[in-house]
């Protein structure tokens, strides 16, 4: 025969069950959210490996040839990117953006687009647009020069 | 992407390996920094030829190890003193804490090794391992193996998924949250079952 449980024990049990229910609820919401994100990314092709990893194992493969997958473009610029990073990944002459955008800041090229916007009293989006148009201008002029 | 994370990415682009080292060091020590995401992003930058993948790995690996070891040794030397200064000395002698310390000492290698892959748990385990006086050689060995695996995986995600790293990181973070919550839920249920069994065994049979 079991003894009747005291009211305080009942309260503790209720609290534990409530805690488990809360954790279960949060877990369900998180799992559902993760599944939704996964489906969306998978549909958009965002989860596809960008790099054929198995080719690393081939000793005859030229490793360097595989490295950059998608070259960055003017459309993929972000405010956190520095001018040094842009110059090197977009293959721009080191002074091109400095002279085109009339950047006076002595930190150039170790200067982010966001910092450039702040020091030039510009809106971040406006600064980003200026950099994007300067990059586009360079890209179009360099492709025109190609035979 | 939040502003703080953007600032960290800029720091990586400006100060390169020093920034990676410092971010991983302070992340491993105690600060809630997105260390794995930074390593993944850095390995993507190395694909673009901006950084060297080997140095990214080395900076992340050393930062992780030194940060974790610093947390462990600080807790080992000053942990109990700090607890008593904060008026929490009594809590260290609670049966549940003593039991946890004993279990941590018994399973120190596996606990430290597994916790390296759960960023949130890692600094906590370092502190408790320090307070519980886990043998230094066991902690160091688990730490080196764990950091090698953790940083290696973060680098591999950046290399394999290239400019898709941000999507993968978002998913990985969500998966980690789900994993931690599932563990917490399992622990809660097991704890409840154990308590229930203890109560049943204490009841006098009539």
**What's the pLDDT band for A49 if we cut at 50, 70, 90?**
low
Q: Which residue has the higher pLDDT, B171 or B5?
A: B5
Distance CA B92, CA B101 (A): 9
CB A37, CB A29: distance < 8 Å: no
Q: Which residue has the higher pLDDT, B84 or A123?
A: A123
B135: Cα separation from own chain's centroid: 18
Give me the long-range contacts of B100-104 (CB less than 8 A, separation at least 24): B100/B128, B101/B128, B101/B131, B101/B132, B104/B128, B104/B129, B104/B132, B104/B134
Give me the long-range contacts of B119-126 (CB less than 8 A, separation at least 24): B119/B27, B119/B35, B119/B36, B119/B176, B120/B32, B120/B176, B120/B180, B121/B180, B122/B28, B122/B68, B123/B28, B123/B29, B123/B30, B123/B68, B123/B71, B126/B28, B126/B68, B126/B71, B126/B72, B126/B75
Judge whether residue B188 has pLDDT over 90. no
Residues B19-41: what's their mean pLDDT? Answer: 90
Compute the CA torsion angle A45, A69, B35, A35 (nearest 10 deg): 10
DSSP classification of residue A101: T
Please name the residues between 32 and 91 in chain B that touch chain A, using a CB distance below 8 Å. 45, 47-50
Judge whether residue A68 has pLDDT over 50. no
* Burial of B15: CB neighbours in 10 Å, binned 0-12, 13-18, 19+: middle
pLDDT digits (tens, 9 = 90+) for B132-174: 888 999 999 999 999 999 899 888 888 777 777 777 777 777 7
Dihedral sign for Cα atoms in the order B179, B181, B185, B188? positive
Q: Where do the structural domains in chain A lie, given as residue ranges? A: 1-64, 71-145
Element (H, E) at B191: helix B165-202
Facing residue for A89 by CB, picked from B9, B48, B185? B48
Please name the residues between 43 and 102 in chain A that touch chain B, using a CB distance below 8 Å. 46-51, 53, 67-70, 72, 76, 78-82, 84-85, 88-89
CB A113, CB A77: distance < 8 Å: yes
Residues of B in contact with A112 (CB under 8 A): 10, 13-14
pLDDT at A114: 92
Asked if A11 has any chain B CB less than 8 Å from its own CB, the reply is no
Distance CA B53, CA A81 (A): 19
Judge whether residue A66 has pLDDT over 60. no
**What's the pLDDT band for B23 if we cut at 50, 70, 90?**
very high
Residues of B in contact with A19 (CB under 8 A): 188
Nearest to B130 by CA among B85, B178, B180, B92: B92
Please name the residues between 101 and 130 in chain A that touch chain B, using a CB distance below 8 Å. 110, 112, 114-115
- The predicted complex's ipTM stands at 0.73
Residue corresponding to tokens 């906590």: B124
Q: What number of C-beta contacts closer than 8 Å exist between A and B?
A: 106
Judge whether residue A76 has pLDDT over 70. yes
**What's the pLDDT band for B192 if we cut at 50, 70, 90?**
confident
pLDDT at A144: 60
Q: A11 CA to chain B: closest CA distance, Å? A: 14
Residues of B in contact with A3 (CB under 8 A): 203
Residues A67-80: what's their mean pLDDT? Answer: 69
Judge whether residue A64 has pLDDT over 50. no
Q: Which residue has the higher pLDDT, B40 or A142?
A: B40
Distance CA B62, CA B4 (A): 23
The CB density around residue A98, as the number of other CB atoms within 10 Å, is 17
């Amino acid at each position: 025969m079991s003894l009747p449980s005291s009211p305080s024990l009942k309260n503790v049990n209720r609290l534990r069950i409530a805690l488990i229910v809360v954790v279960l609820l949060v877990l369900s919401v998180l799992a559902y959210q993760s599944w939704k994100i996964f489906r969306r990314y998978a549909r958009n092709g965002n989860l596809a490996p960008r790099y054929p990893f198995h080719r690393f194992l081939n000793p005859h493969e030229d490793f360097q040839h595989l490295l950059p997958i998608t070259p960055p473009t003017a459309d993929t610029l972000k405010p956190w990117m520095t001018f040094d990073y842009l110059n090197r990944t977009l293959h721009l002459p080191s002074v091109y953006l400095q002279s085109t955008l009339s950047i006076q800041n002595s930190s150039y090229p170790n200067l982010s687009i966001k910092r450039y916007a702040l020091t030039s009293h510009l809106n971040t989006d406006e600064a980003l647009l200026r950099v994007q148009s300067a990059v586009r201008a360079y890209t179009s002029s360099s492709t025109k020069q190609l035979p | 992407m939040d502003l703080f994370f953007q600032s960290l990415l800029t720091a990586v682009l400006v100060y390169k390996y020093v920034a990676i080292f410092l971010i991983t060091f302070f992340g491993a020590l105690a600060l809630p920094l997105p260390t794995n995401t930074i390593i993944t992003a850095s390995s993507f930058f190395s694909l673009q030829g901006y950084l060297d993948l080997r140095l990214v790995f080395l900076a992340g690996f050393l930062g992780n190890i030194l940060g974790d070891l610093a947390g462990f040794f600080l807790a080992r030397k000053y942990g109990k003193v700090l607890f008593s200064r904060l008026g929490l000395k009594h809590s260290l002698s609670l049966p549940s804490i003593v039991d946890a310390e004993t279990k941590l000492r018994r399973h120190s290698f596996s606990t430290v090794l597994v916790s390296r892959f759960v960023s949130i748990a890692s600094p906590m385990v370092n502190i408790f391992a320090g307070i519980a006086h886990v043998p230094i050689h066991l902690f160091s060995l688990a730490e080196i193996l764990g950091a090698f695996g953790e940083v290696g995986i973060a680098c591999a995600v950046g290399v394999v998924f290239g400019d898709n790293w941000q999507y993968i990181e978002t998913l990985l973070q969500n998966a980690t949250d789900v994993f931690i919550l599932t563990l917490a839920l399992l622990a809660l249920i097991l704890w409840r079952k154990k308590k229930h069994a203890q109560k049943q065994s204490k009841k006098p049979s009539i």
